[in-house]
Amino acid sequence: MATFMLVHGGHHGGWCYKKVARLLQAKGHIVYNPSMTGMGEREHLRFPGMNLDTHVTDIVRILEVDDLTDVILVGHSYGGMIITGVADRATERVGHRVYLDAAYPVNGESLLVHAGANIAPLEATMRLIDGVELVDFPEHMPPHFFGITDPEDAEFTAARLGPQPWACYTQPLVLTNEAAMRAIPESHIICSSTTVGRDMDLLRERSQGRVWDIDTGHDLMITEPEWTAARLEDVAATMA
């Protein structure tokens, strides 16, 4: 039995892991799939000044309050920024890092810098709401943008996508324990369409070969939940 912390990406909430969480729970694993502050069902908790560090703290506090150890951190997309920060700040509580078609940042890098071609255009959608700069509203994000084509999945997703605080994308990630963080085992689960531009050989070297790819859309936890859950169980098997 493993403990998974499933961390969602931008514009999403914990809801995006619903299928994967249930599959893992059915196999006896402990699964957390929280929504970050200001996202998903916690949208009403947005506040001026919230940023990437807010979301890193969200996860660190769960690990601390629930006294979790050997946790498998899974980060999707922007969630890769979050889990890297969490593993840096709570190294002793993390047993594995899984980058689920995710950002893989270095110290001092923001998501805007890390993935500028995808992130920079979002600034044009910015609106100031209750003192928070928000970008990329649902009308700009049809589910097919995330590779979701099944009508039922598309309806589910469209009803839940939301804007993202811009500061989450612009705040640099500060790592203070990077060597220890990088020593935590890692794995990469990637959508084939995004392998272009990635150094796959380097990822395989860093993860001792634990790199999988699948031909599906960016939201693979929604489009391919059984396959995604199976790969996460493969990761858990390495910790047995």
Q: How many CA atoms lie within 13 A of 154 on its CB side?
A: 11
Q: How far is CA 34 from CA 37, 54, 60, 75, 178, in A?
A: 9, 14, 12, 12, 25
Tell how strand 71-76 and strand 3-7 pair up: parallel
Q: How far is CA 89 from CA 36, 63, 181, 188, in A?
A: 17, 11, 8, 21
Tokens representing residue 15 in the block: 């809801």
CA distance 157 to 172: 29
CA distance 134 to 90: 29
DSSP secondary structure string for all residues of 184-216: S-EEEEEEGGG-TTS-HHHHHHHTTT-EEEESS
Whether residue 17 contacts residue 6, with contact meaning beta carbons closer than 8 Å, is answered with yes
Outline where 133-194 has alpha helix (H). 151-158, 167-170, 178-183
Q: Is 187 annotated in the active site? A: no
User: Active-site residue among 35, 77, 110, 207?
Assistant: 77
Whether residue 198 contacts residue 219, with contact meaning beta carbons closer than 8 Å, is answered with no
Q: How many CA atoms lie within 13 A of 21 on its CB side?
A: 14
Whether residue 225 contacts residue 23, with contact meaning beta carbons closer than 8 Å, is answered with yes
- Write out the catalytic residue numbers: 77
